[in-house]
Amino acid sequence: MVLRAVGAEVREYRDRPEVTFSWRTRVAPAGPGDLPRIDSEEIPFRTVRDLAPPDEGFRVEVRVVRIAQRTVTVGEERRVVHEGLVADRTGPIALSSWSDFALQAGEAVRIAGGYVRSFRGRPQLVLDERANVIRVEGGDLPNPDQFLRSVPRTIAAIEDEGGGEAVAVEGIVVGLLPPSGLVYRCPTCNRSIKSGICRVHGQVEGQTDLRARIVLDDGTGALTINTGRTDTERLWGVTLDEARRRLRDQPDPSLLEESILETLLGRRLRVRGLGTKDDFGVTITPESIEAVEVDLDAAAEELSARFGEAK
């Protein structure tokens, strides 16, 4: 809807301009033709690092690091959202597009008309049908690989930065947090449920699932890795079906948790994914988890070299 307002006031609220209608303002319907034309060249360019919620009215030039579509339920409606990661020289930011711009991983684009919101404590660039996307050369934009194969950094550094879109760490498993092991989920919304009661859907027939909250420590700090069924099965070496069988044989869910810890404690893992931070520290939602096999001869040689000698 386009409106014409005469006598509106503009004031500043929290460092941002805000238009206020008052009793003096005359408001009337108008048409799209009445809108002033803003040349997109006039919209200022911003770097990704400077973006913070609730910014809007900017342009960015970014490389699409990855993009995938997902169907979500918004109220009653099922909608397709294109989610991914884009980056410029100053860093990456999550992207969520409610309109299909046929984005492809690896291409460089100039985006106008997006806005920034906070999603799970991290800034996210949101596009809808009003956004404008143009393909560009993007010669000075970073290579996507830089974010997909990030080199592990210290957990202390990731804590200091409050997480990150594509963080990589390597450490040793020192513990497990509850809930880990067999959990029950609501069949409708997939929320984890307690005593057969879903927070939204009330009494439901819970579906079993596996998860683990692994505490990874690299000597500089510790963080939590949330693994879903697939990663938990792979790391633990026990499938969901097997876990259910075990629970039938010995009806004590804490035995399953103990068994996961018994498998993982002291193991070295390299993890990459989205890192978010809250009061309890950093949590990683992993994209990849690998067990690291230490080459003992190489490790011994490297240590000896620090004493200025070859082994």
Partner 1 sequence: MALREPAWRVTTRELESALEEEKGEGDRAASYLLSPFGARMNRVLLAGTLTPPEPIGRDETQPFWRSRLTDPTGAIAVTAGSFQPRAMAQLRSSTAPRPAIVVGKVHLYRGRDGVGYVSVRAEGIRFVAEADERAVLADILRQTLDRLDLVERLEKDPATAEDLLRKDGLPGLWIRAARESLKRYPDVDRPAFRRELRSAIRRVAGDSGPVASTLPPPPSVTVSRAPPPKPSPPPPTAADRAEESMFLDHLDEIAEGAADGYADLKELLARVAAEGLVSDRAEAVLGRLEEEGVVEEPIVGKLRRAE
Residue in 160, 241, 287, 290 binding partner 1, rule: CB under 8 A: 160
The one among 258, 270, 285, 286 contacting partner 1 by CB under 8 A: 258
Q: Does 281 bind partner 1 (CB under 8 A)?
A: yes
Q: Which of 18, 34, 252, 290 contacts partner 1 by CB under 8 A?
A: 252
Using an 8 Å Cβ cutoff, are 64 and 136 in contact?
A: no
Looking up tokens 């002033």, which residue turns up?
A: 36
Which region among 80-88, 106-114, 118-126, 290-298 touches partner 1 (by CB under 8 A)?
290-298
Q: Is 91 left (phi over 0), alpha (psi -120 to 50) or beta?
A: left
Site string for partner 1, 71-110 (x = CB under 8 A): ----------------------------------------
How far apart (Å, rounded) are the C-alpha atoms in residues 63 and 108? Answer: 4
Three-class SS of the chain: CEEEEECCEEEEECCEEEEECCCCCEEEEECHHHCCCCCHHHCCECCHHHCCCCCECCEEEEEEEEEEEEEEEECCEEEEEEEEEEEECCEEEEEEECCCCCCCCCCEEEEECCEEEEECCEEEEEECCCCEEEEECCCCCCCCHHHHCCCCCCHHHHHHHCEEEEEEEEEEEEEEEEEEEEEEECCCCCCECECCEECCCEECCCEEEEEEEEEEECCCCEEEEEECHHHHHHHHCCCHHHHHHHHHHCCCHHHHHHHHHHHHCCCEEEEEEEEEEECCEEEEEEEEEEECCCCHHHHHHHHHHCCCCCC
Instruction: Check binding of 154 to partner 1 (CB under 8 A).
Output: yes
Nearest distance from C-beta of residue 290 to partner 1, angstroms: 15
Does 30 help bind partner 1 (rule: CB under 8 A)?
A: no
Q: How far is the CB of 218 from partner 1 (least distance, A)?
A: 8
> Segment near partner 1 (CB under 8 A), from 129-137, 193-201, 236-244, 292-300?
292-300
State yes or no: residue 220 binds partner 1 (CB under 8 A).
Answer: yes
Which range, of 1-9, 85-93, 230-238, 253-261, touches partner 1 by CB under 8 A?
253-261
Size of the site for partner 1 (CB under 8 A): 43
Which span sits near partner 1 by CB under 8 A: 96-104, 127-135, 140-148, 215-223? 215-223
Decide whether 254 or 288 has the Cβ nearer to partner 1: 254
Minimum distance of partner 1 from residue 253's CB (angstroms): 12
CA dist 277 → 122, 155, 285, 286 (Å): 9, 12, 11, 14
Is residue 195 close enough to count as binding partner 1 by CB under 8 A? no
Considering only 67, 108, 133, 155, the residue that binds partner 1 (CB under 8 A) is 155
The only residue of 159, 161, 209, 242 in contact with partner 1, by rule CB under 8 A: 159
Q: Which amino acid is at 121?
A: G
Q: Is 218 in the site for partner 1 (CB under 8 A)?
A: yes
Does the footprint of partner 1 cover residue 265 (CB under 8 A)? Answer: yes
Binding site for partner 1 (CB under 8 A): 153-157, 159-160, 172, 174-175, 215, 217-222, 249-252, 255, 258, 261-262, 265-268, 279-281, 294, 296-297, 299-300, 302-304, 306-307, 311
